[in-house]
């Protein structure tokens, strides 16, 4: 999940992020379907599959319909609605949005009741002689419990939101035969095998439940499929947008995404899929998001992220992050996240590997692919490090604890984020794996790196569909195979110890240090524009939006000591009406003025002036080179593959 949004990505911008595959093909629904191989659909089991008809033709009204025909035996039956959704790391199945639930058999209604304790379980009794149970249900608000799945021109279908499945079998042995109906005039993309189509409906091949849930559908009035490169396995960029203009991807963007595919292959050494699709929704009306899947990713970006090189700059890391998850999260996954059904709780202790390593590798690939320049990647790392340095919650709460409470959706909480700590295993994981990477390069005098670990840990024969769970001990063992060191102690300390400062050792080992300057970098400006947030945590200690709503206050900062708290609204600065520029100017001249900054704040129906004793001027993160230190960081971010030669003339 993406920070991700990762959804995937409770990641840097979003707040967010299945299993076995073996047969099938990629399909795009249009007048002529595009079909390619897909290795990861599980071999169908014996017996009749569950039939699932999904109807998203009313998606612009924010409602989906579904009908299931479930093979059953007479007697008591328990049906589950998926609870623990892969990539979300928590019990996020949107059960509150389930409505219109009806059950029938042979034209006779079958009464149901919800379980007394488990709200995701439904009980019914199938009458004698019945062999199938028909279930009808609706999904309201088109997945309000997820990311916000529809606009007037776009819809995202996540199958876990419209299915019920019987208790008693693991998800990889319950087969489904699904179909989907989309609005007239729309087209769609998915990684499911298409068997036939009729007008606005597509019928898919038989797959297991875990494959179905791992294969979302995007659909839209404005749709485009782009083949990335000519090599095999095939890779596609599938776009649906709120406007036709948003589909006009720039040549530079296309080239960079082709480079991303090449760089990922060089990094991991093999591909565990037969083809891959980036399923991207482009909309300013849907929140940005990311959710990983084995042979595709479910990504949401601002509307013109592909058609304007600068518009997508701040969120360019999203697709690389979710793509890395195909190796780190899908092919390899912490053993605690592997469960037989979607109802069992996950052990999320190793999210600093699942998400943290993915965040680091996604950052590296964003630079290596050209989606970020070398300077932009360094600016991102500096900003990330400084934000974590201002998260004083590590003084009482170790990183490991943030992974263990991930199911509580801690990143949904508002206020005092820097003190409570949120999904720090994403960004702090980045710093930890930077430290590991630079240490390997130091120990081996540049002969080996974390790239070698990735090829060993995530590589192997290509085209394999087997999920390979891992433990902490296996991570340590493979690191030692690359460069002998006491990795167990180092990584245990980073997970379990409290500290006053962020783990910045990787920068020093890489030949750089995090410093503060008076001017924000261009990348920081782009990020704050995307997030619609002004981050002043390094100076007066505030984080607020452009309208003055204060989202967070850093512990022991000047604003905190003055009495300012989250939930208040800044109205005026030094007797001038608040605007981001007025506040920036007041902070910038604080060095020259021997007087405090006065903040007029609205809190409910109370107005109060707070005296902020600060005279340090503007403070913005950047990286500075360390003299007489090898520049390992630039080597880490440098491409592994050669740029294509330009044709003469």
Q: Largest Cα–Cα distance in the chain?
A: 88
Do 213 and 191 form a contact (C-beta atoms < 8 A)? no
Do 123 and 115 form a contact (C-beta atoms < 8 A)? yes
Render pLDDT for 203-245 as a digit per residue (tens, 0 to 9): 999 999 999 999 999 999 999 999 999 999 999 999 999 999 9
Residues ≥6 apart with Cβ < 8 Å to 473: none
**At residue 44, does pLDDT exceed 50?**
no
Strand 550-553 relative to strand 542-544, pairing: antiparallel
CA distance 419 to 382: 20
State residue 327's pLDDT score.
97
The helix or strand, by DSSP H or E, that contains position 54, with its residue range, turns out to be strand 50-55
**At residue 430, does pLDDT exceed 70?**
yes
Token readout for 141 is 């608000």
State residue 464's pLDDT score.
59
CA distance 376 to 543: 22
Helices (H) and strands (E) in the chain, counts: 17, 34
Q: Read off the pLDDT of each residue in 22-51 and give the average, rounded to a whole number.
A: 45
Render pLDDT for 585-625 as a digit per residue (tens, 0 to 9): 999 998 888 789 999 999 999 999 999 999 999 999 999 99
Do 631 and 625 form a contact (C-beta atoms < 8 A)? yes
State residue 466's pLDDT score.
79
State residue 29's pLDDT score.
43
Q: Which residue has the tokens 């994981």?
A: 429
The count of other CB atoms within 10 Å of the CB of residue 412 is 10
Backbone angles phi, psi at 284, to 5 degrees: -90, -5
Is residue 442 exposed (0-12), middle (13-18) or buried (19+ Cβ within 10 Å)?
A: middle
CA distance 489 to 17: 29
Render pLDDT for 161-181 as a digit per residue (tens, 0 to 9): 999 999 999 999 999 999 999
Tell how far CA 641 is from the center of its chain.
Answer: 26
CA distance 71 to 380: 52
Backbone angles phi, psi at 301, to 5 degrees: -130, 160
Q: Which residue has the tokens 């990477």?
A: 437
State residue 15's pLDDT score.
33
Domains and CATH numbers, the chain: 23-220 (2.60.40.3650), 227-337 (1.10.390.10), 374-515+628-637 (no CATH), 539-618 (2.30.42.10)
Is residue 133 classed as helix, strand or coil in its secondary structure?
A: strand
**Alpha-carbon torsion (262, 263, 269, 271), positive or negative:** negative
The percent of residues in the chain predicted with pLDDT above 90, rounded, is: 83
**At residue 107, does pLDDT exceed 70?**
yes
Lowest mean pLDDT among 39-53, 273-287, 363-377: 39-53
Q: Categorize the per-residue pLDDT at 480 as very low, low, confident or very high, splitting at 50, 70 and 90.
A: very high
CA distance 535 to 196: 52
Q: Report the length, in residues, of the chain.
A: 649
**At residue 18, does pLDDT exceed 60?**
no
**At residue 19, does pLDDT exceed 50?**
no
205 — alpha (psi -120 to 50), left (phi > 0) or beta? Answer: beta
Task: Tell me which DSSP letter residue 231 carries.
Answer: S
**At residue 527, does pLDDT exceed 70?**
yes
State residue 415's pLDDT score.
87
State residue 412's pLDDT score.
63
Do 402 and 426 form a contact (C-beta atoms < 8 A)? no
Task: Tell me which DSSP letter residue 577 carries.
Answer: E
CA distance 156 to 67: 18
Is residue 391 exposed (0-12), middle (13-18) or buried (19+ Cβ within 10 Å)?
A: buried
Identify the residue with better confidence: 192 or 144.
192
Whole-angstrom CA distances from 577 to 375, 416, 581, 584 are 36, 26, 10, 13
Token readout for 216 is 């979302």
Token readout for 33 is 């379907």
Render pLDDT for 75-106 as a digit per residue (tens, 0 to 9): 999 999 999 999 999 999 999 999 999 999 99
Residues ≥6 apart with Cβ < 8 Å to 585: none
Mean per-residue pLDDT of the chain: 90
Q: Read off the pLDDT of each residue in 277-295 and give the average, rounded to a whole number.
A: 95
State residue 8's pLDDT score.
37
Q: Categorize the per-residue pLDDT at 16 as very low, low, confident or very high, splitting at 50, 70 and 90.
A: very low
Q: Read off the pLDDT of each residue in 448-468 and give the average, rounded to a whole number.
A: 89
The percent of residues in the chain predicted with pLDDT above 70, rounded, is: 90
Token readout for 267 is 């990094």
Render pLDDT for 116-127 as a digit per residue (tens, 0 to 9): 999 999 999 999
Token readout for 24 is 């099938």
Token readout for 243 is 């406007």
Do 622 and 516 form a contact (C-beta atoms < 8 A)? yes
**At residue 23, does pLDDT exceed 70?**
no
State residue 26's pLDDT score.
33
The helix or strand, by DSSP H or E, that contains position 188, with its residue range, turns out to be strand 187-190
- Which among 188, 171, 191 is positioned nearest to 180, based on CA atoms? 188
**At residue 635, does pLDDT exceed 50?**
yes
State residue 112's pLDDT score.
98
∠ Cα 9 13 16 (to 5°): 20
Do 148 and 156 form a contact (C-beta atoms < 8 A)? no
CA distance 386 to 379: 11
Do 620 and 517 form a contact (C-beta atoms < 8 A)? yes
**At residue 584, does pLDDT exceed 90?**
yes
Render pLDDT for 495-511 as a digit per residue (tens, 0 to 9): 999 999 999 999 999 99
**At residue 445, does pLDDT exceed 70?**
yes
**At residue 564, does pLDDT exceed 60?**
yes
CA distance 458 to 38: 19
Q: What is the dihedral of CA 570, 576, 577, 578, to 10 degrees?
A: -40
Token readout for 152 is 């007037």
For the chain, percent helix, then strand, then coil, each to nearest 5? 30, 30, 40
The verdict on whether omega for the bond into residue 14 sits within 30 degrees of 0, i.e. cis, is: no
The helix or strand, by DSSP H or E, that contains position 599, with its residue range, turns out to be strand 597-603
**At residue 32, does pLDDT exceed 70?**
no
Q: Categorize the per-residue pLDDT at 642 as very low, low, confident or very high, splitting at 50, 70 and 90.
A: confident
Residues ≥6 apart with Cβ < 8 Å to 423: 3, 10, 11, 15, 355, 402, 406, 410, 411
Whole-angstrom CA distances from 21 to 36, 172, 206, 207, 319 are 15, 9, 12, 9, 21
Render pLDDT for 391-425 as a digit per residue (tens, 0 to 9): 999 999 999 999 999 998 655 667 899 999 988 99
Q: What is the dihedral of CA 289, 294, 296, 302, to 10 degrees?
A: 10
């Amino acid at each position: 999940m993406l920070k991700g949004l990762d959804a995937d990505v409770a990641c840097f911008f979003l707040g967010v992020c299945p299993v076995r595959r073996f047969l099938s093909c990629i399909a795009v629904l249009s007048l002529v379907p595009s079909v390619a191989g897909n290795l990861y659909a599980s071999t169908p089991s014996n017996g009749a599959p569950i039939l699932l008809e999904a109807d998203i033709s009313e998606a612009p009204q924010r409602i989906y319909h579904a009908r299931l025909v479930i093979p059953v035996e007479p007697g008591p039956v328990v049906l589950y609605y998926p609870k623990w959704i892969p990539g979300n790391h928590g019990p996020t199945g949107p059960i509150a949005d389930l409505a219109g639930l009806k059950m029938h058999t042979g034209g006779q209604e079958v009464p149901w009741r919800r379980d007394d304790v488990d709200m995701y379980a439904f009980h019914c009794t199938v009458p004698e002689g019945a062999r199938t149970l028909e279930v009808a249900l609706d999904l309201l608000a088109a997945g309000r419990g997820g990311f916000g799945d529809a606009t007037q021109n776009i819809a995202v279908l996540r199958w876990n939101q419209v299915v019920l499945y019987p208790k008693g079998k693991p998800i990889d042995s319950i087969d489904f035969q699904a179909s989907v109906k989309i609005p007239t005039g729309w087209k769609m993309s998915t990684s499911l095998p298409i068997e036939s189509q009729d007008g606005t409906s597509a019928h898919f091949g038989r797959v297991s439940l875990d494959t179905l849930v791992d294969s979302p559908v995007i659909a839209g009035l404005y749709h485009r499929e782009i083949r990335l490169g000519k090599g095999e396995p095939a890779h596609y960029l599938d776009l649906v947008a709120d406007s036709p203009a948003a589909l006009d991807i720039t040549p530079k963007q296309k080239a960079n995404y082709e480079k991303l595919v090449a760089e990922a292959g060089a990094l991991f050494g093999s591909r565990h899929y037969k083809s891959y699709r980036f399923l991207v929704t482009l909309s300013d009306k849907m929140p940005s998001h990311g959710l990983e899947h084995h042979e595709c990713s479910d990504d949401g970006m601002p509307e013109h992220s592909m058609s304007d090189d600068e518009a997508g700059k701040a969120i360019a890391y999203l697709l690389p992050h979710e793509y890395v998850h195909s190796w780190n999260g899908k092919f390899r996954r912490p053993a605690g996240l592997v469960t037989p059904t979607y109802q069992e709780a996950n052990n999320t202790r190793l999210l600093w590997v699942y998400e943290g390593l993915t965040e680091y590798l996604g950052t590296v690939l964003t630079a290596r692919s050209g989606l970020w320049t070398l300077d932009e990647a360094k600016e991102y790392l500096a900003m990330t490090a400084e934000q974590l340095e201002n998260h004083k919650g590590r003084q009482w709460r170790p990183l490991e604890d943030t992974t263990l409470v991930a199911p509580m959706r801690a990143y949904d909480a508002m206020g005092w984020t820097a003190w409570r700590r949120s999904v720090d295993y994403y960004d702090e994981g980045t710093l930890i794996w930077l430290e590991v990477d630079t240490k390997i390069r130091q120990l081996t005098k540049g002969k080996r790196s974390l790239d070698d670990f990735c090829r060993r840990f995530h590589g192997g024969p290509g085209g394999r569909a087997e999920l390979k769970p891992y433990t902490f001990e296996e991570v340590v063992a493979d690191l030692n195979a690359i460069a002998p060191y006491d990795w167990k102690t180092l990584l245990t300390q980073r997970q379990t110890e409290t500290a006053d400062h962020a783990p910045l050792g990787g920068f020093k080992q890489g030949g750089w240090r995090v410093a503060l300057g008076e001017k924000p970098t261009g990348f920081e400006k782009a990020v704050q524009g995307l997030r619609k947030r002004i981050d002043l945590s390094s100076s007066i200690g505030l984080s607020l939006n452009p309208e003055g709503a204060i989202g967070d206050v850093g512990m022991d900062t000047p604003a905190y000591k003055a009495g300012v708290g989250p939930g208040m609204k800044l109205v005026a600065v030094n007797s001038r009406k608040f605007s981001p520029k007025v506040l920036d100017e007041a902070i910038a001249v604080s060095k020259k003025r021997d007087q405090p900054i006065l903040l007029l704040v609205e809190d409910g129906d109370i107005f109060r002036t707070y005296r902020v004793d600060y005279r340090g001027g503007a403070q913005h993160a950047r990286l500075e080179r360390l003299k007489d230190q090898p520049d390992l960081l630039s080597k880490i971010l440098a491409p592994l593959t050669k740029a294509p030669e330009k044709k003469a003339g």
